[in-house]
């Protein structure tokens, strides 16, 4: 959530940069400034009324002490009116604060100046590419056919148990899935991230804290009886560890990692491009998250990007990095890099990670601050990234590592799987 002071100081620049999201934010920004000015005026009126009421109460007490009962009673009638006025001002102020908060929740984060303008993923900028695309044998299969051939993932069984988008992993497929989770966690902790196990359901406050609410409530599974949400990513519970927290500058940076299943309704997702593991309602993901000093957050973003590059390089999968354009940028992000692995059998790129800097946007919603060396409170910067999301990584491995004799296992995973071939 943007700070009102930041909006006032950077009004024209904010409107200009939000235009990269294909949003004309002029009305929202002007309304936010107006609501804040009205809020301040009401607060001043309320404070003045309370001050006058307090002064009269003190004067009434003195009058009673001096025996001037009649004068005291006259002033008491005035204080009754002031109390009613105070009550009205408080109600108006609460309404104004609520209206301002609701508006601020609807304004997306301001894109970093290097975010390219654009409307769709076709306008994203490729910034890096690495790895050779393998040449597959004749008759090479997409991963959903490989899964059926080697009985390692059963999509129909998942559909029977729950519905489409809930696959069942079997035998070596389940072992490979577990191996990837363990490998990613080990690499993340080796890089200095502290491992956490977090809840898989969150409350409404947590959803608002990281920006899933009110923006993406339709994409989350809602347990209505308890008003809890199944997590769409470990980012939500992991970031909310720091909600309503005041850190010391010496505590920064903080890096954590965690594995969770993720649940997404993915409403409106249909077609060949979502077959198999390409788009699921339940999937596994290992996340990395950082809480940073504002001066260091973009250096930290580069570090996170390099870390994910290392994971994909170790797996020897061909991949590219895209800097997302304004139209493809997430609601809370100031700058995002997407990683895509090339699926040779499908002849297309599959997104496997997003690494983002949210600057102060989430921290302001979370009330996540640190006390700087001068003793003043500042908002932290938050960052997060997938390291990595498993479904499309698994799809890339199955398709790119397939041979006529079976599916080879990436060398770095063999110690985790205990086998080097699925056949």
340 labelled binding-site residue: no
Identify the helix (H) or strand (E) that includes residue 150.
Answer: none
423 labelled binding-site residue: no
The number of C-alpha atoms within 13 Å of 124 and in the hemisphere containing its C-beta is 20
Three-state secondary-structure class, residue 159:
helix
Q: How far apart are CA 329 and CA 124, in angstroms?
A: 10
69 labelled binding-site residue: no
The number of C-alpha atoms within 13 Å of 95 and in the hemisphere containing its C-beta is 8
Residue matched to tokens 């060398």 = 411
Q: Taking the mean position of all CA atoms in its chain, how far away is CA 405?
A: 42
Buried/exposed 19-33: b ≥16 CB within 10 Å, e otherwise: ebbeeebeebbeebe
CA-based end-to-end distance of the chain: 51
266 labelled binding-site residue: yes
Three-state secondary-structure class, residue 359:
coil
Number of Cβ atoms within 10 Å of the Cβ of 85: 16
45 labelled binding-site residue: no
Q: How far apart are CA 306 and CA 289, in angstroms?
A: 14
378 labelled binding-site residue: no
CB 379 within 8 A of CB 299: no
What are the structure tokens assigned to 343, written together?
A: 């699926």
Calculate the alpha carbon distances from 357 to 82, 322, 347, 362 in Å: 49, 14, 30, 10
Residue 34 phi, psi (nearest 5): -65, -45
Number of Cβ atoms within 10 Å of the Cβ of 76: 14
Q: How far apart are CA 6 and CA 14, in angstroms?
A: 9
110 labelled binding-site residue: no
352 labelled binding-site residue: yes
Which residues are 223's β-sheet partners?
228
> Which residue pairs from 155-162 have beta carbons closer than 8 angstroms and sit at least 24 positions apart in sequence?
155/276, 162/282
90 labelled binding-site residue: no
265 labelled binding-site residue: yes
CB 178 within 8 A of CB 415: no
Cite the annotated binding site for L-serine by residue number: 233, 264, 287, 384
Cite the annotated binding site by residue number: 233, 264-266, 287, 351-354, 384
Cite the annotated binding site for ATP by residue number: 264-266, 351-354
């Amino acid at each position: 959530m943007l700070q009102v002071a930041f909006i006032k100081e950077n009004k024209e620049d904010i409107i200009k940069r939000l235009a990269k999201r294909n949003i004309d934010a002029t009305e929202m920004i002007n309304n936010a400034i107006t609501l804040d000015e009205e809020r301040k005026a009401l607060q001043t009126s309320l404070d003045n009324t309370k001050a006058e009421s307090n002064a009269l109460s003190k004067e009434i007490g003195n009058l009673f002490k001096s025996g001037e009962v009649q004068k005291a009673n006259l002033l008491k009638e005035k204080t009754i009116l002031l109390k009613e006025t105070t009550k009205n001002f408080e109600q108006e102020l609460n309404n104004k604060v609520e209206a301002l908060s609701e508006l601020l929740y609807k304004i997306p984060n301001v894109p970093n100046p290097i975010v390219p303008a654009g409307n769709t993923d076709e306008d994203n900028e490729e910034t890096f590419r690495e790895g050779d695309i393998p040449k597959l044998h004749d008759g090479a299969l997409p991963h959903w056919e490989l899964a059926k051939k080697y009985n390692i993932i059963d999509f129909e069984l998942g559909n029977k148990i729950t519905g489409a988008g809930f696959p069942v992993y079997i035998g070596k497929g389940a072992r490979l899935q577990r191996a990837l989770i363990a490998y990613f966690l080990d690499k993340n902790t080796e890089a200095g991230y502290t491992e956490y196990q977090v809840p898989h359901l969150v409350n409404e406050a947590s959803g608002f804290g990281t920006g899933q609410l009110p923006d993406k409530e339709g994409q989350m599974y809602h347990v209505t009886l308890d008003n809890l949400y199944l997590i769409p990513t470990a980012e939500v519970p992991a970031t909310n560890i720091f909600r309503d927290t005041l850190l010391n500058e010496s505590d920064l940076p903080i890096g954590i990692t965690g594995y969770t299943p993720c649940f997404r309704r993915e409403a409106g997702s249909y077609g060949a491009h979502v077959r198999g593991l390409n788009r699921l309602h339940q999937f596994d993901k290992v996340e990395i998250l950082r809480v940073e000093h504002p001066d260091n957050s973009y250096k930290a973003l580069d570090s996170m990007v390099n870390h994910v590059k290392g994971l994909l390089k170790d797996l020897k999968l061909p991949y590219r990095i895209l800097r997302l354009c304004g139209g493809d940028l997430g609601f809370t992000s100031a700058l995002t890099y997407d990683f895509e692995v090339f699926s040779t059998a499908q002849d297309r790129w599959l997104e496997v990670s997003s690494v983002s800097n949210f600057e102060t946007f989430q921290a302001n919603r979370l009330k996540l601050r640190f006390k700087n060396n001068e003793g003043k409170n500042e908002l932290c910067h938050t960052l997060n990234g997938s390291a990595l999301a498993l479904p499309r990584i698994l799809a890339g491995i199955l398709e790119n590592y397939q041979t006529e004799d079976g599916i080879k296992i990436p060398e770095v995973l063999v110690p985790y799987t205990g086998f080097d071939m699925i056949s």
